[in-house]
C-alpha cells in the first residue's frame, strides 16, 4: 500500500484550528523574506483554483477570504511520525517516502486484519483521521511502483480514497494515462518523451527497451519497467538511513547579496553547518562543491574541487569554499548559495600530516558542538553572524527552510 496524506500541512493546521472548518486554508511562508509560496492548500482552497507552489499573492487574488497560516515544520514532522506509528500497527514494514507519503507492506499480516485489503485500508484511514485529523488516500497493488500510481491516479480521484490496482490490469487501466502521470516522469522527462512521440504510459511500454537504454542508459530500462508495472524493490523502513554520498546545505537569501563580504558570511555559516553535520555522523569529506543562483535566475553555477586531505574542520572548508566561489563568481547579485562535502570517509582513522591542525580544531569544534547540542544551535555563533548579512539566528528557528 501507498498511504498519502491529503493536503498534509493544511490538514494538520485545520485539525489544530477548529474555527477554520469549512473555510479555505493555505500554509505559506512569509513573502517579505522570499518564502511567500503556497506549501499546501486545503481542498476548499483548491476549489478556488489555488495550487501548491504558486505565489501567495496569486492565491489571494483567486480567493480573498483565504486563511494563511505560517508553516510549523516540527509539528508536521511529529504528526508524520505519529502516522507512521499508526501504520506500523497494521503493516509488516513501513517505509516513509516523504513527510506525507508512506509505503506499507502487508503481505505477511493481512490475514490478521481479516484478509481484505480494502477494508484494512479503510480502517487505517479512519484511525489516522480520528487521531490526527488528516485524511489518507491509499493505493493498493502488488509492488511499490503500482501502489504509488494506484494512489496518485485513482485513490486520489474517487470518493472512498482507496483503490486496488492489480498487476493484470496495468495495460487496461494504466496504459491510457498520460505519460506525465507515471511515477518517475517529471515535466522535463515528459518533454523528452513527447519529442519521441511518447504521450501515454502505453506508448512508453510499447517502446523497445533497447531504444530507451540507448538514450538514457539504465534509467531508460527503469522507465520501461515502471511502464510495465515491474518493481522488485522491497518496503524498507531504514531506506533513508544508509550511507550518504555527500552532506550539503543551502539557503535562499532574504535579499539579493551583491557584496563579496556578505556572501562570504553566508559561506562561513554554511561551512559551519555542513561540518557540524559531518562531525555528528562521524565522517570527513574531501570533495567540496559550491553553488549559487543569480538574483533573477539569469545565471548560476555549481563547481567542485578536491581538497588535499579529507576534513570536517569549518575553517578549512570555508577557506576552500571562499576561494572556489571567488574564482567562478562574476560579481552579479546572488539569491541562493549552497555548499556540500562529498568523498566521505570515516573520521576515526586518517593519515596525519606535518603541522596538521585538524586535531586542534576537532577538539575545539567538539566543544562548540556540545554547547549547541545542549543550549541550541544559536547559543554560540561567530561574530560575523551578528551582522546584517548573517543568517545563523534566523536559520536556527527553522527546519528545512521553514519555521519550526
**Cell numbers that stand for 175 in this block:** 496504459
Q: Which residues pair with 260 in a beta bridge?
A: none
Q: Is 262 annotated as a binding residue?
A: no
- Output the 3-class SS for the chain: CEEEECCHHHHHHHHHCHHHCCCCEEEECCHHHCCCEEEEECHHHHHCCCCCCCEHHHHHHHCCCCEEECCCHHHHHHHHHHHHHHHHCCCCEEEEEECCEEEEECCCCHHHHCCCHHHHHHHHHHHHHHHHCCCEEEEECCCHHHHHHHHHHCHHHCCCCEEECCHHHHHHHHCCCEHHHCCCCCHHHHHHHHHCCCCEHHHHHHCCHHHHHHHHCHHHHHHHHHHCCCCCCCCCCCHHHCCCCEEEEEEEEEEEECCHHHHHHHHHHHHHHHHHHHHHHCEEEEEEEEEEEECCCCCEEEEEEEEEEEECCHHHHHHHHHHHHHHHCCCCCEEEEEEEEECCEECCCCCCCCCCCHHHHHHHHHHHHHHHHHHCCCCCCCHHHHCCCCCHHHHHCEECCEEC
Task: Tell me if residue 101 is catalytic.
Answer: yes
203 labeled part of a ligand binding site: no
- Asked if residues 281 and 247 have their Cβ atoms less than 8 Å apart, the reply is yes
Spot the catalytic one: 13, 95, 101, 365. 101
Residue 369 sits at the vertex; the CA angle it makes with 366 and 370, to the nearest 5 degrees, is 90
Identify whether the C-beta of residue 174 lies closer than 8 Å to the C-beta of residue 153.
Answer: yes
- Cross-strand bridge partners of residue 162: 138
Query: Could you tell me which residues are annotated as the binding site for Mg(2+)?
Result: 4, 100
Binding residues: 4, 100
Residues known to be catalytic:
101
Amino acid at each position: 500500500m501507498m498511504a498519502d496524506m491529503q493536503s498534509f500541512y493544511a490538514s494538520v493546521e485545520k485539525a489544530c484550528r477548529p474555527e477554520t472548518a469549512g473555510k479555505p486554508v493555505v500554509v505559506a511562508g512569509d513573502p517579505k523574506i522570499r518564502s511567500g509560496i503556497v506549501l499546501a492548500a486545503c481542498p476548499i482552497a483548491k476549489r478556488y483554483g489555488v495550487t501548491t507552489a504558486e505565489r501567495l499573492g496569486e492565491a489571494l487574488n483567486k480567493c480573498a477570504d483565504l486563511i494563511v497560516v505560517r508553516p510549523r515544520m516540527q509539528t508536521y514532522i511529529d504528526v508524520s511520525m505519529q502516522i507512521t506509528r499508526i501504520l506500523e500497527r497494521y503493516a509488516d514494514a513501513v517505509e516513509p517516502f516523504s513527510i506525507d507519503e508512506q509505503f506499507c507492506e502487508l503481505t505477511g499480516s493481512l490475514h490478521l486484519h481479516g484478509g481484505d485489503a480494502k477494508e484494512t485500508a479503510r480502517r487505517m484511514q479512519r484511525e489516522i483521521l480520528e487521531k490526527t485529523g488528516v485524511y489518507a488516500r491509499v493505493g493498493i497493488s502488488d509492488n511499490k511502483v503500482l501502489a504509488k500510481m494506484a494512489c496518485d491516479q485513482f485513490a486520489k480521484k474517487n470518493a472512498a480514497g482507496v483503490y486496488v490496482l492489480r498487476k493484470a490490469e496495468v495495460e487496461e487501466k494504466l496504459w491510457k494515462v498520460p505519460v506525465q502521470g507515471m511515477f518517475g516522469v517529471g515535466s522535463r522527462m515528459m518533454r523528452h518523451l513527447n519529442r519521441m512521440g511518447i504521450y501515454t504510459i502505453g506508448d512508453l511500454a510499447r517502446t523497445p527497451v533497447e531504444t530507451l537504454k540507448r538514450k538514457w542508459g539504465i534509467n531508460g530500462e527503469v522507465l520501461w519497467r515502471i511502464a510495465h508495472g515491474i518493481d522488485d524493490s522491497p518496503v524498507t523502513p531504514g531506506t533513508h538511513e544508509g550511507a550518504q554520498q555527500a552532506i550539503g546545505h543551502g539557503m535562499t537569501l532574504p535579499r539579493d547579496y551583491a557584496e563579496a563580504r556578505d556572501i562570504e558570511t553566508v559561506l562561513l555559516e554554511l561551512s559551519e553547518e555542513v561540518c557540524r553535520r559531518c562531525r555528528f555522523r562521524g565522517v570527513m569529506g574531501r570533495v567540496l562543491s559550491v553553488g549559487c543562483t543569480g538574483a533573477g535566475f539569469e545565471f548560476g553555477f555549481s563547481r567542485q574541487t578536491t581538497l588535499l586531505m579529507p576534513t570536517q574542520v569549518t575553517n578549512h572548508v570555508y577557506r576552500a569554499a571562499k576561494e572556489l566561489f571567488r574564482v567562478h563568481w562574476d560579481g552579479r547579485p546572488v539569491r541562493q548559495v549552497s555548499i556540500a562535502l562529498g568523498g566521505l570517509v570515516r573520521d576515526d582513522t586518517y593519515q596525519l600530516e606535518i603541522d596538521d591542525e585538524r586535531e586542534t580544531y576537532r577538539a575545539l569544534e567538539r566543544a562548540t558542538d556540545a554547547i549547541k547540542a545542549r543550549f541550541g544551535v544559536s547559543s554560540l555563533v561567530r561574530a560575523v553572524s551578528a551582522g546584517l548579512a548573517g543568517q545563523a539566528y534566523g536559520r536556527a528557528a527553522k527546519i528545512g527552510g521553514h519555521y519550526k
